[in-house]
Amino acid sequence: MAVLKDLAVQIPSILAILAGSALAIIRWKRYPRVSLIVLIALLLLLIHEFVFTGVYATVPDLIIKSANDLNRETLTRNVYVGLAVIYNCLEAVPFVLLLCAIFMRRRKTESVVA
């Protein structure tokens, strides 16, 4: 039940990813390589959303339940910090791909001499 609630919170992000995917598919014939990279990045973001919803719903409880009472507070903090670092590092990959797609096929502009 918690996983469904967490997914419901992410509906705006999921809709934005789906809309971006539709736009990339529409532009496929004109810019096939850029569209492919955008679709790969958006697919990775979509997978990331679903995977980490499940991870945050299950992993902390599994790790924290196995700890003794003395370390529980510190362990809880460390588990969430560790998950946040992993979450953000893995989320950076699709964003790098999106940035690469943004700057692909840019024409060199001639410098204007005043």
Predicted confidence at residue 71, as pLDDT, reads: 74
pTM: 0.81
Phi/psi class of residue 29: alpha, beta or left (left: φ > 0; alpha: ψ in -120 to 50)?
alpha
CB crowding 5-30: b at 16 or more within 10 Å, else e: eeeeeeeeeeeebeebbeebeeeeee
pLDDT in tens, 61-108: 888 887 766 677 788 889 999 999 999 999 999 999 999 999 987 676
